[in-house]
Amino acid sequence: MNLAKYIDHTILKPDTTDKDVIKVCAEAREYNFFSVCVNPYFVSLVADELKGSDVKVTSVIGFPLGASTTELKALEAKKAVEDGANEIDMVINVSALKDGKYDYVQKDIEAVVSAIKGNAILKVIIETCLLTEAEKIKACEISKAAGAQFVKTSTGFSTGGATEADVKLMKSVVGNALEVKASGAVRDYDTAKKMVDAGATRIGASSSVAIVTGATDSNSDY
């Protein structure tokens, strides 16, 4: 299986430099990854580096805690799209979800949907490692109702990453209406393939080159 087109080649470490991002963009062009995923600060640079290729630009929003206010998430997403982002990966408000404030969580996502005005794909990061099974199901249901196109397992910055069980659960909830992105702890071909077999149509990874070449990569998740 050629996994390259499943992969959002990701660089989100806090000490990332322009040079690091340019290298990741070159790798994305070379291996034909689906997109390059960066923090909003780097979106313009990535858009310039990928110009003329079919590699997309992904920006994270409300990252990594999801605890920004709704207004700021919407503004951040709008600016990222203006800067060249084709896809937005927003972190759900985990605190609100765990408090049962489901209307707030849905409106939080809907505000980002409205801000990007159909000009970008929206993935909602539900941070599975922090949720009970019931909360995972509810997060997927809310994301679907709010108009997202994907649900995503993890930021890669919390206590755990993607698991086959979570991907299967998320896919069972959203069905064909949404897609599932598996992120966090996906560092090799076998793990990535298991995620795809479980129902993921996108993989978020910093070890993307290792995944497609079979090389060893000691990178952390992101």
> 8, 89, 108, 221: which one is catalytic?
89
- Rounded to 5 degrees, φ, ψ at 19 are -60, -40
> 78, 138, 144, 152: which one is catalytic?
152
Is residue 152 among the annotated active site residues? yes
- Residue 162 to residue 117: CA distance in whole angstroms: 29
> 78, 108, 181, 221: which one is catalytic?
181
Q: Radius of gyration of the chain from Cα atoms?
A: 16
Which residues make Cβ contacts (< 8 Å) with residue 40, sequence separation at least 6? 59, 60, 61, 76, 79, 80, 83, 85
- DSSP H helical ranges for 99-188: 102-116, 133-146, 164-174
User: What are the E-state strand segments in the chain?
Assistant: 7-10, 35-38, 56-61, 87-91, 121-125, 150-152, 179-183, 202-205
* Residue linked to tokens 């700021």: 72
Is residue 89 among the annotated active site residues? yes
Is residue 138 among the annotated active site residues? no
- Residue 198 to residue 182: CA distance in whole angstroms: 10
- The residues assigned a catalytic role are 89, 152, 181
